[in-house]
């Protein structure tokens, strides 16, 4: 089962920043760009590097280990060497709260 859980305040993650979280079995990052807040799994699909060490470029997040890029909204690969998408998580903002749909 999954439910929305408050994970941060909007002020915690300025535009252009990425922040990693571990809540229960859920390991993910929240990225903040001009379009809002997005959450993806904190594991690159290429060689398991932490995505929290990555860089945000517009609507893409880049894994710094080998340079793979992923679309923040869909998790799709936008640049190799990764071949497999990364998981995305649902995010919503209520007031100053960032909520993410997490598995129990």
Q: Which span (6-14, 64-72, 85-93, 95-103) binds ligand FES, by CB under 6 A?
A: 64-72
Indicate whether 79 belongs to the interface with ligand FES (CB under 6 A): no
Radius of gyration, alpha carbons of the chain? 13
What the block records as the tokens of 94 is 């209520």
Indicate whether 40 belongs to the interface with ligand FES (CB under 6 A): no
Checking DSSP bridges between strand 2-9 and strand 97-103, what pairing results, if any? antiparallel
Indicate whether 61 belongs to the interface with ligand FES (CB under 6 A): no
Largest CA distance in the chain: 38
- Positions touching ligand FES (CB under 6 A) are 44, 46-47, 49, 63, 65-68, 81-82
């Amino acid at each position: 089962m999954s439910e929305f859980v408050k994970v941060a305040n909007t002020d915690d993650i300025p535009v252009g920043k990425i922040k990693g979280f571990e809540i229960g079995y859920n390991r993910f990052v929240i990225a903040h760009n001009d379009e809002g807040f997005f959450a993806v799994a904190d594991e690159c699909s290429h060689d398991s590097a932490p995505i929290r060490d990555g860089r945000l470029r517009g609507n893409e997040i880049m894994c710094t280990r080998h340079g793979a890029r992923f679309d923040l909204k869909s998790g799709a690969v936008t640049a190799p060497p990764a071949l497999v998408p990364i998981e995305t998580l649902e995010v919503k903002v209520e007031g100053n709260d960032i909520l993410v749909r997490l598995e129990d």
